[in-house]
Amino acid sequence: MNKTGRYTRQPSNDETSQAAMDRDGVGYSLRGLVAQMRSSGNRWVQPGPAGDTDPNVTTVRLAESYGFCWGVERAVRMAYEARLAYPGRKIWITNEIIHNPTVNNRLIDMGVGFIDDVAGKGKDFTVVGEGDVVVLPAFGASVEEMLLLTDKQVQIVDTTCPWVAKVWNAVDNQTRKDHTSIIHGKWAHEETVATTSFASKYVVVKDLAEAQYVCDFILNGGDAEAFRAKFVNALSEGFDPEADLVRIGLANQTTMLKGETQAIGKLLERTMMERYGPADLKDHYMVVDTICDATQERQDAVYDMMADLEGTDESKKVDLVLVVGGFNSSNTSHLQEIPEVRNVPSFWIDTADRIDVAGGKIEHRMFKGDMVTTENWLPAGPLRIGVTSGASTPDRAIEDALDAVFRTRDPSFTGIKLAEEDLAGGEEYHELDASEV
């Protein structure tokens, strides 16, 4: 694609696009509540109707790591820059740019079209014409899609996160060396679909238990048909577990738990060492570190919040947790899971619209997918709220959610005053160069 002259993969960091992102609230907060919390120890104390002495004071603790990761912010920035760089041309995105409804709806408002999956039969690329602009989302596109778009002679803006591209390179290298890729991920997730397109042979395992099943087959053999039935949607075509598990390599979906990917890697290494011996391990198992820390850092921050519930420092404790992020976001579901399994009151919302201020209710999602409506979810009296958000969630989404919380607790609340000047915001990052990818 590089040779066509119709391909770009780097943001231009255009100031006009940055201003538009700030206006639309689809980037890092620079002057709003989140920016102000960042500059004051990730905390905020909101008085009740009668001021600081009111019993309905609300203390907010923002997780140490939360919200937009740099790869997601980069993808949104490039989508905005594409709209500015190609005025008058039709722009398409091959999937959601990121898993956040606010950001995706804003792009629709800007005249960007989304290539839809028609009746579960695959995406309809017939809507794309020569000369159109096609944006590849943060979690990438499959090899087949990229080849099709190249043939259509469109301008491609590739926002694929460099960490995702690094996973692809690892899988491609495994394929070249005739190793089957064991991919830690969810087989239907867009990123994993793209990753599997770079592999000739693969198995997608969603957790340590499924990885153990694969390892048991490697060590003890078994029923090949039962193996194929268990991974019916998560195998390459014509997969033969007896022949295709002799040489393996590990890869991962970047939004999976870092710790679990590492545990699976150690399990696979021990298994191949036991099966073929330490001297021949390198001929049967290969692994490249493709783990993105962003997902794990956000989860670790919530684990820290949960650990503080058992401590003696009352200033670190929370009464409930508010999780903000798209309902189809894998990494956000893990953030909800952490307090939920510990029976800590926790509420996962995708937008502030889920909060019924007048009715004192909230519609929220459980980590396994059930939608629940809870009444009187904000108890009277002093309240300590822990807040976190998924890696595809802009800061404005947190600010809007907290605005609804404050209005529920205090009908006279009129909003948080913006800081007089821009405050530091967002994650520091660098573009991965060719040697890293």
* Residue carrying the six token digits 């999956």: 117
CA 388 to chain centre: 13
Distances (CA, A) of 376 to 357, 361, 408: 10, 6, 10
The residue among 159, 139, 135, 138 whose CA lies nearest residue 149 is 135
Number of H helices, E strands in the chain: 15, 17
Encoded tokens for 65:
């790591």
Contact by Cβ (8 Å): 143, 171: no
Between CA 99 and CA 51 the distance in angstroms is 38
- What is the length of the chain? 437
Between CA 306 and CA 321 the distance in angstroms is 10
- Write down the catalytic residue from 81, 96, 190, 191: 191
The residue among 215, 196, 332 whose CA lies nearest residue 284 is 215
Residue 191 annotated as catalytic? yes
Between CA 88 and CA 203 the distance in angstroms is 44
Give the up-direction half-sphere exposure of residue 224: CA atoms within 13 A in the CB hemisphere: 8
Encoded tokens for 67:
């919200």
Q: Which residues form the catalytic set?
A: 191
